[in-house]
Structure 1
Amino acid sequence: MRTRPAFRFWHRWFGILGGVWLMLLAITGCAIAWYDELDGLLNPDLRHASGSAGQAAPVDQVVSRAKEALPGFEPGNILLAQEPDRTHWLLGRQSLPDGSFRAVQVFVDPITAELAGWRESGAISLHRHHLPDLLYGLHTDLMAGESGVIFVGLIALVWLLDHFLSLPLAFPRLRGALSAFRIGGHAGSLRRIWDRHRASGIWLWPVTGMLALTGATLSFPMESREVVETVSPISERLHYGMQEREPPANPISFDSAIARVTPDRAAVHSVRPHPEVGLYAVRTFDQRDVDNQGRLWTYVDMETGEITAQRHDAGDSAGDTFFIWQYALHSGHAFGLAGRLVVTLAGLVTAYLCISGYLLWWRRRRRSDRAYRPSR
């Protein structure tokens, strides 16, 4: 069996069966590349601070006000405002009177420590408060939980494979290969649609291929680690392997834990309490960071205030380096504004490839039907 017809068969049916899902992932990916900007634009009441001048309120006061305003709330991650006009963003869960829990996000003014508002995480709603999270959920798991994550990961894997199997279709002969980058034919013709489809895919092939690979590794982190570990060791975040213990009765404050790590609050990305191991994880910005997440983890004992361990996500191995780049590349944050613009362009081009692929299939199918239709 010749390979080219087999590759054409594969590419056609991947496009037909997976094109709608890939287009959804592409469009939502374009949106969440600008998640913070979109959230701030839609929800200034949540994300924008009052703009009051003065010294930042203690983090413990911020957490206390959040708990007062939302009874039963316990923060799992406190992301400190990185800009003066932004609110602190507290991610956690709220215990309800019936004994159940719900994931919530609480927003608090960094100067006045007043509650700006809150929202339920993962709510399926078109309300402006929930729209950014809805887009994020559709992109990561189609709002379908673990089964959705698996499906999205499979789409990414098949898309990655399609990147390589479609190359022989774009370059059937080495002679005249440069013509694949150009667009010919008259407006509206099948040739023009095909040329645009092919040229768009080739020009953005390295970027869309990277998005397919990183999408698969982010969807299947454990399986990806097992594969990478066959060639390079990988280190875990330290609290994963720590021995569990009873939370201290009188833990030190969040502010004390931060002060043990750095005197500069602006250097702190976030603080995570890990009572199950009796530690605070203080994340700070570091010169080894490849994005805007603050990748240096410093662990502070909740009881003694001692620094017990420290690790940067870059680690010490090639495997660690590989994984620190996955989210940074997929989101575009690895290269700042330019990176996000390129990722957005790649998402738009991917959506166009899905649409033009369906159009090509439909036009060719109609032409084939007319060719074999018996004359009267």
Structure 2
Amino acid sequence: MKRTEFFRLRFWHRWLGLVAILPLITAALSGTLLVYKKPLIRLLVTHNAELPANFSQRNLLTQIDHIELILAERGAVRAKAPNKREPYWTITSADEQHLLLAVNDLTPYRSNLWLLDAFSFVHHLHTKLLLEKTGQRILLISGIFAIVLLISGVVLWWPGRKGFRWKFVKPWPFKLRSVLQLHRHSGIVVFPVVLIIALTGSIMLWQKLVNPLLNPIAMQQVDKGRKTTPVPTSASRALTAAQQQIPDGKLTYIRFPNDKNDFYRFRFRLPNEWHSNGRTSVNVYARSNRIEVTPRSDAVPWQYNLINQLYPLHSGYGLNGLYQLLILLGGISLAWLGFTGLVSYGRQKMR
């Protein structure tokens, strides 16, 4: 790289970092808090609840009609079925407030509910910066800047790669005169994980705000010649009809009929699926003998399967503990890179 090109790249690296630093640090720290959201809720709110050993899809059938009544009473929009990592029902209202219900008797958990409110706030901060669509746009632009910063940072580091020292990767002892070295050396070590976080987050926001990278695969109506459950008159019958379509799937989310939609939507997680909530859905219409099914997530083209992995790769949910730890360290590292970059810039301006 020519000397003028090097200085030009460093100029843009510095100024893009200054523009994006605040939303990136905010997203990094809030995302770090969310990585272990489920274990903390299980420890402090549901008191280390465990899913009963004999709990099965049959148990869901006996409880889902009661769950529908609870949703109607509270004006809620969806319910999440219990699983091993979340051994409780989760009821979510239109304003994203959560109610957790014990599996055995569907009684609400009452202790440490401040934690649910805190995580709801942190999630809103992480995904929208508390600014709704405007916040999402800021995060998308900042995420794209983060990708450019990571790649340009590697290019700027490369000429001096032989001077790499592990002592500059650890943040202690923190010395101002070494802050630029801390920024450079730690950045090259965490580059792969932070790049995955920034790239997956940016793609998910692009899908929502700009345009899906792939056209959605249309739901397919079940052939009426096949044996299906009669017209559903209750949530349990609708669930029975849905389970016939995905017999090896585990129920994750349920959306019930409302003023806008007259169908039940059931979402299933297939065996060995990375996505903790699954990506296969069944619509069962409440007023007609009609069932629609999305293509199974294990049978879609590889491009769609790759898009389906964005959320677990970004959050660590549904993946093993080692990857989840890497995501935690990646979030902390992103905030650290922003902090050290800002301090380094400040020292240069003070000279």
TM-score by length of 1: 0.75
Name which of 270, 285, 297 aligns with 2:253.
Answer: 270
List structure 1 segments (4+ residues) > 4 angstroms apart after TM superposition: 47-51, 53-57, 184-191, 222-226, 263-266, 274-277
Q: CA deviation at 1:336?
A: 2.2
Matching residue of 1:99? none
**Alpha-carbon distance in structure 2 between the residues aligned to 1:215 and 1:85:** 24
Structure 1: stretches of 5+ with no match in the other structure? 94-101, 120-125, 240-249, 369-376
| 2: CA distance, partners of 1:16 / 1:4 | 19
CA shift for structure 1 position 258: 1.6
Q: Counterpart in 2 of 1:204?
A: 190
Quote how far apart the aligned CAs of 1:330 are: 0.5
1:270 is displaced (CA, Å) by 1.9
| Residues 25 and 223 of structure 1, relative CA distance in 2, 3 Å threshold | closer
| Other-structure match for 1:301 | 285
1:61 match:
66
1:33 aligns with 35
Identity %: 18
Q: Structure 1: how far apart are the matches of 2:121 and 2:23? A: 16
Number of the residue aligned with 2:331: 347
Distance 1:265 1:305, change over 3 A: farther
Residues 13, 152 of structure 2: 8 Å contact kept: yes
Q: Structure 2: 5+ residue runs without aligned partners?
A: 221-230
- CA distance in 1 between counterparts of 2:249 and 2:272 reads 17
Q: Does 1:157 align with 2:144?
A: yes
Aligned length: 330
Structure showing greater Rg:
1
Matched residue type, 1:302 = A
What is the alpha-carbon distance in structure 2 between the residues aligned to residue 261 and residue 251 of structure 1? Answer: 11
Q: Distance in 2 between matches of 1:84 and 1:154?
A: 34
Amino acid at match of 1:163: L
Q: TM-score, normalised by structure 2?
A: 0.80
Please show how residues 207-286 of structure 1 align to structure 2 within 5 Å: 207-222=193-208, 225-226=211-212, 228-229=213-214, 234-236=215-217, 238=219, 252-262=233-243, 267-274=250-257, 276-286=260-270
Counterpart in the other structure of 2:80: 79
The code of the aligned residue for 1:261 comes to A
Q: Greater shift after overlay, 144-153 or 306-315?
A: 306-315
Deviation at 1:200, TM superposition (A): 1.0
For residues 103 and 334 of structure 1, the distance between their equivalents in structure 2, rounded to whole angstroms, comes to 21
Q: Distance in 1 between matches of 2:98 and 2:41?
A: 13
- Paired residues of 1:325 and 1:334 also in contact (CA < 8 A): no
Q: Output the CA distance in 1 between the equivalents of 2:99 and 2:348.
A: 53
1:96 equivalent in structure 2? none
Q: Distance in 1 between matches of 2:328 and 2:282?
A: 34
**1:106 aligns to what SS in structure 2?**
strand
Equivalent positions of 1:113-132 (< 5 A) are 113-116=106-109, 127-132=114-119
Whether the aligned pair in 2 keeps the contact of 1:142 and 1:149 (CA below 8 Å) is yes
Kept after mapping to 1: 8 A contact 2:91/2:100: yes
Asked if structure 1 preserves the Cα contact closer than 8 Å seen for 2:92 and 2:99, the reply is yes
Q: Using the alignment, how far apart are the partners of 1:184 and 1:103 within structure 2?
A: 42
Quick one: distance in 1 between partners of 2:91 and 2:68?
Answer: 8
1:91 corresponds in structure 2 to 92
- Residues in 2 aligned to 1:160 and 1:330: alpha-carbon distance in whole angstroms: 14
Q: Distance in 2 between matches of 1:178 and 1:267?
A: 51
Aligned residues of 1:82 and 1:266 also touching (Cα < 8 A): no
Partner SS state of residue 2, structure 1: helix
Q: Give the deviation of 1:181 after TM superposition.
A: 5.4
Residue by residue over 1:209-235, the C-alpha shift from the partner in whole angstroms, topping out at 9 and shown as x without a partner, is 111111111222146645x34xxxx33
Report the secondary structure of 2:320's partner residue.
helix
